[in-house]
Amino acid sequence: MSEDYSMTSQDSRVQSMFNRVTRSYDKINSLMTMGRHAQWCREVARRADLTASGRLLDIATGTGEIALAARRRYPGAEIFGVDFSENMLAEAREKPGADSIEWEFADAHQLRFEDESFDAVTHGYLLRNVSDVERVLWEQHRVLKPGGRVVVLETSPPRGVLKLVLSVGMSVVLPLLGQIIAKDREAYTYLKSSTLGFMSPAEVAAVMERVGFRDVDWATKYFGTNVIMWGHKP
């Protein structure tokens, strides 16, 4: 899968949306998860399981929450935070500790990094927002060293007995928060739709295994609406 990638109209719309909601993004994430988002970012960093001098790539770094959590946990590591929203990167660069991280513009569909150049890859809320999930995961597999780990924080469509209640709640609350806090109901209506319409953890795991990851597993969070997934490159 080495052919060049051209950004689709969907990618462009998502990029524009994230450039618009930068200032409110952390606040709404915290409100929607009742403060658990920061804890999940710390868990993602822990599961990356870096050595003292390891190299970590955090894709769709956004405002840098996972990358900065990794910096605090692995002070000697080399950490790259990449995103295709320049506004998000600008916000990340202003946070305490940001000077010790390499922040770069990048499209997750086509990374500039060499094969087998990282010990771990992490990302939060990336897969539901890309036009080609398999290609994005293949790129992550490519840049990982053998034995390297991938750790994913993602939303998960509600299932089971609480499915109706949670779906209705998200359909009402998320656009409303977007309207009140971000002054952008349209963006958070999209985020609601991308969450409710996204793949289940089992479906994501199947794609991860198809591109070559092994020992894929996951833990659901917050009534099953969020999930942390992990695997390794043999």
Token digits of residue 75: 């002070």
CATH code of the domain covering residue 20: 3.40.50.150
Q: What's the CA dihedral at 167, 87, 204, 78 to 10 degrees?
A: -140
pLDDT score at 86: 96
Within a domain: 163: no
Cite the annotated binding site for S-adenosyl-L-methionine by residue number: 63, 83, 107-108
Count of domains observed in the chain: 1
* Domain hosting residue 55, numbered range: 9-156+199-232
Residue 174 lies in a domain: no
What was the pLDDT predicted at 1? 61
- Mean pLDDT by 10-residue block, N- to C-terminus, for the chain (234 residues)? 78 88 84 89 98 96 98 98 97 97 97 98 96 97 98 86 66 71 72 78 98 98 92 98
Give me the pLDDT at residue 18, please. 86
The answer to whether residue 175 is domain-embedded is no
- pLDDT at residue 179, as a whole number: 76
Say what the pLDDT of residue 2 is: 54
- Cβ atoms 75, 99 nearer than 8 A: no
Helices 185-196 and 9-20 cross at an angle (nearest 10°) of 130
Cα 234 to Cα 209: distance, rounded to the nearest angstrom: 11
Structure tokens at 159: 């299932």
Residues annotated in a binding site = 63, 83, 107-108
- Whether this prediction's pTM lies above 0.95 is answered by no
User: Where do runs of H (alpha helix) occur along the chain?
Assistant: 9-20, 22-32, 37-48, 65-73, 86-93, 133-143, 163-177, 185-196, 201-211
Element spanning 80, H or E:
strand 78-83
- Residue found under tokens 């618009």: 20
Residue 165 within any structural domain of the chain:
no
Does some domain include residue 123?
A: yes
